[in-house]
Amino acid sequence: MSTDTEKAAFTAEELLTVAAARVLEDGTTCFVGIGPPGAAANLAQRLHAPNLVLVYESGAIGAKPDRLPLSIGDGILAETADAVVAVAEMFNYWVQPGRIDVGFLGAAQIDRFGNINTTVVGDYDHPKVRLPGAGGAPEIAANCGEVIVILRQSPRAFVEAVDFVTSVGHGTGDPGHRQGLGLRGDGPTKIITDLGILEPDPRTRAFRLTALHEGVTVEQAKEATGWDLQVADELETLPPPTAEELDTLRALKA
């Protein structure tokens, strides 16, 4: 197996999936879904976080699939799980009381305060696009210890104000906004994209650029963002995916 990262070719989705996997710590409990969030969690479990507890909305706790599941109802999750509970128990006992450390979410739109839209694009009554909807995302965003959002960065997705708030991030950015709504968790702590990583400013809660993938410029990140993207004083450069990371991720999808 080659370890030459300079010659490794990868897609934008592989880049953000690897970046997301790297931020997951061993021993945490992670609520995951299908797509890049699920791929990132499974990749982390194989490479550096063997004790990462994967929890799926279908009720599987401690799943250890040997391939990426096709859906949250894929039988491989139940077959490899430490336990399987009813969906109602998953949310009533595990999610709502704050027993999940990290929730992974995607988005159709996200704003500067990490509010997420997966409901409609345009006016709610006469939308341009009707999206899949909330699912369990509002509960995850409200109650998990922290939320990590994964999506491709573009002005269409990174908007000044979402058309519909499906899942609350940091609301208006005002101090105590989440607590005033009775939300338990800390909300979104990272937005991981194909260009870099955004994190909320400790004072304003507005997401700012804190890291860029190798070869990406600040100007590119700003052009792909629908708000006036601020940049951290110390901007990290993220190393590209290694051959081991890419080989492991592709093997999961095989």
- Whether 57 is catalytic is yes
**DSSP codes, 61-121:** ES---SS--SSTT-HHHHHH-SEE--HHHIIIIIITTT--SEEEE--SEE-TT--EE-SEE
β-strands 102-105, 83-84: how paired?
Answer: unpaired
* Predicted confidence (pLDDT) per residue in 84-104, tens digit: 999 999 999 999 999 999 999
User: Which amino acid is present at 52?
Assistant: L
In the chain, the domains with their CATH numbers are 5-253 (3.40.1080.10)
| pLDDT tens digits for range 236-251 | 999 999 999 999 999 9
Q: Which listed residue (6, 13, 14, 57) is catalytic?
A: 57
Query: What tens digit of pLDDT does each residue of 121-156 get?
Result: 999 999 999 998 888 899 999 999 999 999 999 999
Task: Confirm if 191 and 149 have CB atoms less than 8 A apart.
Answer: yes
Contact 101, 146 (CB under 8 A): yes
What number of other Cβ atoms are within 10 A of residue 157's Cβ?
20
pTM score of the predicted model = 0.92
